[in-house]
Chains A and B, each alone.
Chain A
Amino acid sequence: MALLKSSKIISTVRVHPPLGALSIRASSWWSEVQMGPPDPILGVSEAYKRDTNPKKMNLGVGAYRDDQGKPYVLSCVRKAEAQIAAKKLDKEYLAIGGLGDFTKACAKLALGDNNEVIKSGRNITVQTISGTGSLRIGANFLSRFHTEARDVYLPKPSWGNHTPIFRDAGMQLKAYTYYDPKTCGFDFQGALNDISKIPEKSIIMLHACAHNPTGVDPRPEQWKEIANLVKKRNLLVFFDMAYQGFASGDIDRDAWAVRYFIEQGHNIVLSQSFAKNMGLYGERVGGFTVVCKDAEEAKRVESQLKILIRPIYSNPPMNGARIAATILNTPDLYKEWLGEVHGMANRIITMRELLVANLKKEGSTQNWQHVIDQIGMFCFTGLKPEQVARLTKEFSVYMTKDGRISMAGVTSGNVGYLAQGIHAVTK
């Protein structure tokens, strides 16, 4: 059994206690525990909360907001909740792998209704603690069983939490070129070059759609070439799909890459989150799928996933999975959901257009086309850390220091102010 290779997730900044406290501190088990730095993403929200500027904007964490800047509870979610409440269900433990009605529907959503993988039973899909929990189970599974290679190749850049998750699970992180800062777009050739050099049997992480943080996705023809190259290199594909439906507004379109890879014979592993596309953030709804050779292999893999899950949290939470399952399995709720996801994606697209229009109005001469070309919740503005710092300090606009903004936090009410701020720090 592979032991977890630990990583010290500590700050190098040592907090010195006031002198008088030293003697007390010395008698604690925790004297040497250092103060950890705030989370680079979630810490942004916390800083935002402390700010008293009435014009402040939180463009940090990717949580959808309506055009009034308020959290949005989907109507299909409220309906599902009412249906569930009426059923008077018990609260007995779920199976380790989660709610069957949810996991089946979760797999279908990603792979398509009539997918051969599902029909032949050669996938195992377990319910996880949203996307993070899914990635973690996946990382633990690969760490224990994928002994061929310890290396996970992430796109450059990737979601900030990918690295610590895999590292904590004992994997090694490497990167392949992805984002082109010159064009604020996809560096297709750069990616192909790097991928062609990845040692065989390594693991490659691909964002299925709405790449986080850049919003830059490959086009279908580019995906095809990537799939081909990955096959040539004999790499294990780990898809992270946290935004299905959110990117283009179309569920099937956003899952196209995942389905294409499977069609091409890649037995992928896949993480899914329902935090954004169903607005179930705090309910922690996700899935982890391993596409296996056949049903027998899937059974073996399932038994090992259970062994991994049990010592972390025993079995997953019911509430969110029940809501998601109800929506996915009830035709009119499902239809309503598709409409609402489409609506959310559309509002974001509109905000992108408005932001660019306002920047032009401010007199910006920079090229902001990438704001419209990028897709999904996030926009990689191209702002440098110093510009980001100014935007935060002078305008109370909160974002991560890589220049990523969550378009979901932009409204028709504040887009003008945002344009002002961005123009001010970039002119």
Chain B
Amino acid sequence: MPASRHFCQKVPQATPVAVFKLSNDFKEDPNPMKVNLGVGAYRTDEGQPWVLPVVKKVEKLIVADNRLNHEYLPILGLPEFRSSASKIALGEDSPAIQENRVGAVQCLGGTGALKMGAEFLRRWYNGNDNMKTPVYVSAPTWENHNSVFANAGFEDVRPYKYWDAEKRGLDLAGFLGDLETAPKHSIFVLHACAHNPTGTDPTHMEWTQVAEVMKRRKLFVFFDSAYQGFASGCLDKDAWAVRYFVTQGFEMFCAQSFSKNFGLYNERVGNLTIVARDADNVRRVLSQMEKIVRVTWSNPPSQGARLVAITLNTAELFAEWKDNVKTMADRVLLMRASLQAKLQALGTPGTWDHITQQIGMFSFTGLNPKQVEYMIKERSIYLMASGRINMCGLTTKNIDYVAKSIHETVVNVQ
């Protein structure tokens, strides 16, 4: 009997990833009133995916350009993508860029950027192949953070206090406390803006406090920037924390995703920006990044990076893109304001200010698991068990239904 029959026999069924199961259940629900507030992708007011107008424009340019081909990109990716993407995160006039101490690796989406960063850190940070360095991720965080770092070999992935369920806001004292007690050189995964899943970001003041502790205690800064532009509608505003840390002299990683702010979800466009002490360090780091890329995907996909690079490097297209981003952010802000107003008007028990105070695609409603179950089963409104909703799933047509449903749920289910 061939060997393979034996080994696959033992392969157990894995549990599906929660957010995709939710989408599946939504798809199969026959209720015409159903609303999907699950997976994090932008939707228009008609509840449809939105291919950004600037993206459509640039795609046409690419298809029409016969000089373009499908040759391999360099291992680290398209150079004009990497540099322009890093500029977006750090700012055109970033001292780090001017001092030539910024490098970048084009990766497959934000996930790919986190992966490359994690693999590099495990090999080269805090000694060689040090799997014992603690990696801290926020409590709660995007669930894939845990898997990315664990699969990169880190044995100790732990939570740092972040969300205060009682006051529905940032647990600053807890956060700072964990920073103070973390073993030296621990790695901290920070959400650059629009924290996923809570939508709760530190204020500027709070970020300065975080930075102070991290600098003093020699902790590693690993930013996850998946929503730049999407949070406030302004690229620079959303990059404040990242840029502040650069001014504070940190060497750091920043995993960037262009899935949401370019709507390029399925083209897997990401960038790992590396800020180091000097150009020589950048050079050596990049040379080792190449080795990791080579055994994972060899070189990254061309289409999405080309699209982003053309957009970022062409003045009118860049302006149009910023405008498209603002359109998305504004609609989200409108839905936030609307939902909060309706809940207040209904007299829904509890306070709902957090809906407008939170930022970005997601909101941590504060609904508990029983209430979430009720929303799904009785109202066909699909949201994560954590109470997280995707604001993009709200439209002017369904917001009344959702508000009334939340009201009914909070009143009837404890």
Interface residues of chain A, those whose CB is within 8 Å of chain B, are 3-4, 6, 8-10, 15, 17, 21, 24-25, 27-36, 39, 42, 46, 61, 63, 71, 73, 77, 81-82, 85, 88, 90-96, 129-133, 136, 145-148, 161, 164-165, 168, 200-201, 231, 234-237, 265-269, 275, 279-284, 290-293, 297, 299-301, 303-304, 306-307, 310-320
* B13 cross-chain contacts in A, Cβ below 8 A: 299-300, 303
- Nearest Cβ distance between residue A2 and chain B, in whole angstroms? 11
CB–CB B147/A311 < 8 A: yes
CB–CB A319/B301 < 8 A: yes
Q: Which of A9, A136, A279, A292 contacts B8 (CB 8 A)?
A: A292
* B291 cross-chain contacts in A, Cβ below 8 A: 9-10, 36, 164
CB–CB A91/B300 < 8 A: no
- Please encode chain B, from 1 to 18, with 1 for each CB lying within 8 Å of some chain A CB and 0 for all others: 111111111111111110
CB–CB B60/A85 < 8 A: yes
- Nearest Cβ distance between residue A333 and chain B, in whole angstroms? 16
Q: What is the size category of the interface that chain B forms with chain A?
A: 35 or more
Would A25 and B63 be within 8 Å (CB), given that A9-B295, A30-B124, A91-B265 are in contact? Answer: no
* B109 cross-chain contacts in A, Cβ below 8 A: 313-315
Alpha-carbon separation in the docked complex, A320 to B350 (Å)? 50
CB–CB A30/B287 < 8 A: no
CB–CB A282/B129 < 8 A: no
CB–CB B11/A282 < 8 A: no
A-B contact pairs, 15 of them (CB 8 A): A6-B123, A39-B290, A73-B69, A94-B266, A131-B298, A145-B11, A164-B291, A282-B301, A284-B299, A293-B9, A310-B17, A311-B144, A314-B109, A315-B266, A317-B108
* B3 cross-chain contacts in A, Cβ below 8 A: 148, 200-201, 234-236
Interface residues of chain B, those whose CB is within 8 Å of chain A, are 1-17, 20, 39, 41, 48-49, 51, 55-56, 59-60, 63, 69-75, 107-109, 111-112, 115, 122-125, 128-129, 131, 144, 147-148, 150-153, 155, 220, 251, 259, 263-268, 276-278, 280-281, 283-285, 287-288, 290-292, 294-304
CB–CB A267/B115 < 8 A: no
CB–CB A313/B294 < 8 A: no
* B280 cross-chain contacts in A, Cβ below 8 A: 17, 21, 25
Alpha-carbon separation in the docked complex, A320 to B302 (Å)? 9
* A96 cross-chain contacts in B, Cβ below 8 A: 17, 20
Would A91 and B8 be within 8 Å (CB), given that A9-B291, A129-B108, A317-B301 are in contact? Answer: no
CB–CB B112/A283 < 8 A: no
Q: A61-B72, A290-B4 are in contact. List 10 more A-B contacts (CB 8 A).
A: A39-B290, A71-B70, A92-B266, A161-B298, A201-B3, A267-B5, A281-B72, A291-B4, A303-B14, A310-B144
CB–CB B288/A9 < 8 A: yes
* A21 cross-chain contacts in B, Cβ below 8 A: 278, 280
CB–CB A73/B70 < 8 A: yes
Chain A residue with the shortest CB-CB distance to B111: A314
CB–CB B2/A265 < 8 A: yes
Q: Which of the listed residues B10, B11, B109, B283 has the most CB atoms from chain A within 10 Å of its own CB? A: B11
CB–CB A284/B300 < 8 A: yes
CB–CB B71/A36 < 8 A: no
Q: Which of the listed residues A91, A168, A279 has the most CB atoms from chain B within 10 Å of its own CB? A: A91
- Nearest Cβ distance between residue A309 and chain B, in whole angstroms? 10
CB–CB A90/B14 < 8 A: no
CB–CB A317/B144 < 8 A: no
* B290 cross-chain contacts in A, Cβ below 8 A: 36, 39
* A85 cross-chain contacts in B, Cβ below 8 A: 59-60, 63
CB–CB A269/B4 < 8 A: yes
Alpha-carbon separation in the docked complex, A31 to B299 (Å)? 26
Would A313 and B268 be within 8 Å (CB), given that A9-B291, A236-B4 are in contact? Answer: yes
Would A281 and B266 be within 8 Å (CB), given that A33-B281, A132-B296 are in contact? Answer: no
Q: Which of A24, A32, A61, A161 contacts B277 (CB 8 A)?
A: A24
Alpha-carbon separation in the docked complex, A275 to B5 (Å)? 31
* A10 cross-chain contacts in B, Cβ below 8 A: 288, 291
- Nearest Cβ distance between residue A103 and chain B, in whole angstroms? 15
The 7 closest A-B pairs by CB, nearest first: A282-B302, A313-B108, A267-B4, A28-B277, A311-B147, A132-B298, A9-B291
Chain B residue with the shortest CB-CB distance to A99: B266
CB–CB B268/A315 < 8 A: yes
Alpha-carbon separation in the docked complex, A245 to B168 (Å)? 60
CB–CB B122/A6 < 8 A: yes
Q: Which of B14, B150, B294, B304 contacts A319 (CB 8 A)?
A: B304
Alpha-carbon separation in the docked complex, A292 to B10 (Å)? 12
* A290 cross-chain contacts in B, Cβ below 8 A: 4, 8
* B60 cross-chain contacts in A, Cβ below 8 A: 85
Alpha-carbon separation in the docked complex, A400 to B389 (Å)? 54
Alpha-carbon separation in the docked complex, A9 to B291 (Å)? 7
Q: Which of the listed residues B14, B55, B75 has the most CB atoms from chain A within 10 Å of its own CB? A: B14
Chain A residue with the shortest CB-CB distance to B50: A90
* A164 cross-chain contacts in B, Cβ below 8 A: 291, 294-295
Alpha-carbon separation in the docked complex, A63 to B151 (Å)? 32
Alpha-carbon separation in the docked complex, A164 to B63 (Å)? 36
CB–CB A284/B7 < 8 A: no
- Nearest Cβ distance between residue A379 and chain B, in whole angstroms? 20
Q: Which of A31, A282, A311 contacts B70 (CB 8 A)?
A: A282
- Nearest Cβ distance between residue A158 and chain B, in whole angstroms? 14
Chain B residue with the shortest CB-CB distance to A61: B72
* B277 cross-chain contacts in A, Cβ below 8 A: 24-25, 27-28, 30
Would A284 and B278 be within 8 Å (CB), given that A30-B284, A303-B16 are in contact? Answer: no
Would A161 and B268 be within 8 Å (CB), given that A36-B288, A71-B71, A290-B8 are in contact? Answer: no
CB–CB B266/A318 < 8 A: yes
Alpha-carbon separation in the docked complex, A279 to B71 (Å)? 8
* A293 cross-chain contacts in B, Cβ below 8 A: 5, 8-9
- Nearest Cβ distance between residue B150 and chain A, in whole angstroms? 8
Q: Which of A161, A236, A280, A312 contacts B112 (CB 8 A)?
A: A312
Alpha-carbon separation in the docked complex, A24 to B376 (Å)? 57
Would A297 and B281 be within 8 Å (CB), given that A9-B295, A310-B17, A319-B301 are in contact? Answer: no
CB–CB B284/A35 < 8 A: yes
Would A297 and B9 be within 8 Å (CB), given that A8-B129, A201-B3 are in contact? Answer: yes
Q: Which of B51, B69, B115, B122 contacts A71 (CB 8 A)?
A: B69
CB–CB A28/B276 < 8 A: yes
* B153 cross-chain contacts in A, Cβ below 8 A: 3-4, 6
CB–CB B8/A267 < 8 A: yes
Alpha-carbon separation in the docked complex, A266 to B73 (Å)? 36
* B74 cross-chain contacts in A, Cβ below 8 A: 42, 46
